[in-house]
Structure 1
Amino acid sequence: MSTSGKEVFLIGPGYIGLEVLDRLLEKGYNVTALVRREAAAQDLGKQGVKTVMGSLEDSETIQRQTAKSDIVIHTATADDIGSVKAVIAGIEERASQNLHTIYIHTSGFYSDTKPEDLDARPDSSSHRAIDLAIISARKSLGTKAKLFIMLPPLIYGATHHNRVSIQIITMARFAMKNKYAGYVGKGKSLWGLIHVNDLSYGYLTMLQWLEQAPPEAALEHPYFFSENGKELSWRDAAAIIGDELTAAGKLSDPAPCQIPKDQFKDLFGHYSMVILGQNARNRADRLRKLGCEAKHTDVRQASREEELPLLLKEDLSGYSGYNKPAASGSG
């Protein structure tokens, strides 16, 4: 179905965002992306994508472009409250002109079949402050806009965009620097899985449902999840890394070991336990009811064939942990 004519503002054309962009272009959406680098703007321009120059700190730019857009999709980070507030301000501006907006925000990880469990989480929970800002805006906007939240699990895999995932690859970079594959805590906690390509189809399915749904759909609970029916423990993730890096000649022993706290600086700092040591189990019931089923299930194969070749090309001489916002809150 072609949806030519719909104006989409994509915030974050990165690991997730470029996959979502592919799906949008396949369906004929007119896309404008927020980019920081002129080289990125030129690359996107070759695909027919319009761009606005700026960063997540450029609230005025984000609000202005949101006000021009029928649809806004934020895939840059789950932890930047300023950019989310700017999007909400743009949506409120449109609502004052009787213009309807769809907004899909990317957040954290729980279970979409029991929204009351999410809403009962403490405000200090990771990602929660931004979710609450969106929920507050939903209450004030009512049926004037549809604001929904996508909560992916552990994302893995690489495609023609040659971008790598965050959590598993950060563990792999740690292993290459410290010469062993490690896990945080006891390594028994489980996360659901989704290949980044499957995730992009989840966004598209969600968007097309929101476009077709009546205005009253804006009042339904805001959470959507994606997963492929598989789960992975962090110890098993470390074992995969150990096996693959040993086979590649980067480690001498594949056996995974517990990482001491004083080495968390080479992972996610004080958020390492939150990101790599807790459970995040969910079921994508809403997406499945809409006919969206994941096709990629083999995280080991994707790690070996898609991400490891890219990782081995990296210069890790100055590596000192993940240096971008990865979580928020106090727990």
Structure 2
Amino acid sequence: MNSHQAVADGPLRVGITGVGSCLPEQVVDSEELRLRVVAGSGMALPAGVFERATGILTRRAVRPGEYASTLAVGAARRALHRAGLEPADIDLLVFASATRDMVEPATAHIVQAELGSRAHALDVTNACNSFVNGVDLARTMILAGRARRALVVTGETPSRAVRHDPADPAQFRDGFAGYTFGDAGAAVVLETVERGGILDVDSETHSEHWPVGGIFGGGSRHPRGDEHTYFQGDGSELREVFEKVGTSVIDRMRHRTGLDWRHFRYVLVHQVTVPYLRRFVEITGVPEDRLVVTVPELGNIASATLGVQLDRVQGDLRSGDRVLFVGLGGGVSLMTMVWEKA
């Protein structure tokens, strides 16, 4: 299944007017993580195993008392400040994340209570595509006249779904993808703009692959029990699925919009490991100087990836610069979004 929407020329355009991110202070390097797993499991893991397999040197991790909402609030305050707005100026707040503070209520309410805003608040979740989905939903609601200014936030704490004491090598392999995880938050403000804005959105969904990987606890299938609160999945199988799906969503975007790599100042892509990013470059042909590489330093920060990358380059962008967002998420879904700075 695929869907797309190219935003037609007209008086109403929606753009990003403020960007923010938030990283936990605690840094965990790959050797520290290996030693923790060795201590918890008793397995003999060779030095450098995580770094060699993933290319990840460090990642950030929340401390006790820090939550997904903590990171979302930190990022939200920065985004609002850069947009020159106060929390009361927002009439739609979307918390869009693969992780959340609790099953119920929506984490958006926790974020809103901390900010002191009074907006319509709701959660959106779709694995690592959650944030792009949230931006697309907020944009659509503004175009429909249901909101004037939206704040889309994510707070990702997948480090809490990492198994540090696997019982045996099989359990270690089943949860290996979790050792790529890092924590982060990101936020954007959306409102109408006179020029530029979000020009095109496309998505493709292959839901038959949903069992390949995930955190399967907390819902009606597995409401209780620690076993289902850890990430489970085969990272190589996930990679095979994305390669099988191919580049069709990117190819459609380029054909429909007439834009090529040279038309983008940056290409922001979800990053799982360094080898996976290299494979993405090989398959798509995107020039490496268009990428914002975060995975060696931050690991896989789930749906916060694209927001953190955007925050890192937002100061370099000038009016008319275009940015391509490429989202990859378990489920499985792929997304592209073209944004032009006003």
Output the TM-score relative to the length of structure 2: 0.29
Larger fraction in strand? 2
Output the TM-score relative to the length of structure 1: 0.29
